[in-house]
Amino acid sequence: MKKSYLLILITVFFISACNTTPVNNQQIVQDSKNLGDNSQKQQATEATFQSIVFRGRGDKVSDFFHATPGLLKFKMLHGGRANFAIWLLDSQGDRISLLVNDIGKYSGEKLVTIDYQDDYILDIKADGEWDITISDPRVKEERVLMAVEKKQAPKAVPWEQFFEECKAKYPPQYFKAPLVYKWTDECEKEYAKTYNLPEYCEKVQDKEKLFNCWFQLATEWQNEKYCDKLKGLVATDEVADCRGSVRQNE
């Protein structure tokens, strides 16, 4: 009798073991991975993109800028008369989006969805002055890379003081040719971006830099009188283009 009870217990045990649902370790790993991916996507979406401004004249390729998945707003201005086209490219040189393809003066915006984290670049085709602002559409737009409020200048740091502070950022190898030209040029650009004051423009010797300085000052402060500074530097029609850009931004 005891043997019969023992046999029954063993049989019940094996039947219970066979009916137990097996643990799918692969599914657990996949679920964990999905949770991690969703968390990363949420963090990337919540992170705000720090606004960037690119300014220049004619055909150019911008510096690389880093972007994570999400929505970016591209605000574009052009003061030329010929074709104005901008391609957004990834770090491999693959075209992501055609931001604009127009003729002549242009002022417009475009929203682009960034699908993956990468370093991006702009391929710009133009014949005149252009201005491109990249920002996060979820945050209030502000003027960036320029400490200039509308029609109001900040208190300037003397150029000599700024130059010494800027110089201290660079290692010793930059004080020998040809790198010395790179850091001095970068310091000049940084000063112009920070203040962009008439007193700085007056010191600029290079003709192209001088044009950019006065044009940028006119459009940032929305004051046509600085367009008059372009007389003698460019043709009369480009001075008129400057005035047109100022009125367009008002």
Helix or strand or coil: residue 199? Answer: helix
Q: Predicted confidence band at 146 (pLDDT cuts at 50, 70, 90)?
A: very low
**Is residue 198 within 8 Å of residue 183, measured between CB atoms?**
no
Please give the residue that has the higher pLDDT: either 25 or 68.
68
- Backbone φ and ψ for 120, nearest 5 degrees, come out as -115, 165
Q: Predicted confidence band at 194 (pLDDT cuts at 50, 70, 90)?
A: low
Instruction: Please give the Cα distance from 13 to 173 (Å, whole number).
Output: 79
**Is residue 145 within 8 Å of residue 52, measured between CB atoms?**
yes
Instruction: Please give the Cα distance from 131 to 54 (Å, whole number).
Output: 6
- Backbone φ and ψ for 186, nearest 5 degrees, come out as -65, -40
Asked whether residue 134 carries a pLDDT value surpassing 60, the answer given is yes
Asked whether residue 208 carries a pLDDT value surpassing 70, the answer given is yes
pLDDT at 211: 81
Query: pLDDT digit string (tens) for 7-21?
Result: 555 555 555 544 444
Give Rg (Cα) of the chain.
Answer: 30
pLDDT average, residue stretch 137-143? 57
Instruction: Please give the Cα distance from 229 to 224 (Å, whole number).
Output: 10
pLDDT at 164: 79
How far, CA to CA in Å, does 8 sit from each of 11, 13, 14? 5, 9, 10
pLDDT average, residue stretch 124-152? 67
The CATH number of 52-135 is 2.60.120.380
Name the packing angle between helices 207-221 and 236-249 (round to 10°). Answer: 30
pTM: 0.42
pLDDT at 21: 45
Please give the residue that has the higher pLDDT: either 69 or 35.
69
Token pair belonging to 39 = 């968390």
pLDDT average, residue stretch 138-166? 56
Helix or strand or coil: residue 218? Answer: helix
Place of tokens 């003066």: 105
Instruction: Please give the Cα distance from 26 to 196 (Å, whole number).
Output: 60
State the DSSP code for 227: G
pLDDT at 165: 80
**Is residue 229 within 8 Å of residue 201, measured between CB atoms?**
yes
Identity of residue 250: E
Strand 65-67 with 95-103, pairing:
unpaired
**Is residue 124 within 8 Å of residue 56, measured between CB atoms?**
yes
Instruction: Please give the Cα distance from 34 to 36 (Å, whole number).
Output: 5
**Is residue 54 within 8 Å of residue 219, measured between CB atoms?**
no
All structural domains of the chain with their residue ranges? 52-135, 159-249
Place of tokens 């599914």: 27
Instruction: Please give the Cα distance from 196 to 119 (Å, whole number).
Output: 28
Q: Predicted confidence band at 90 (pLDDT cuts at 50, 70, 90)?
A: very high
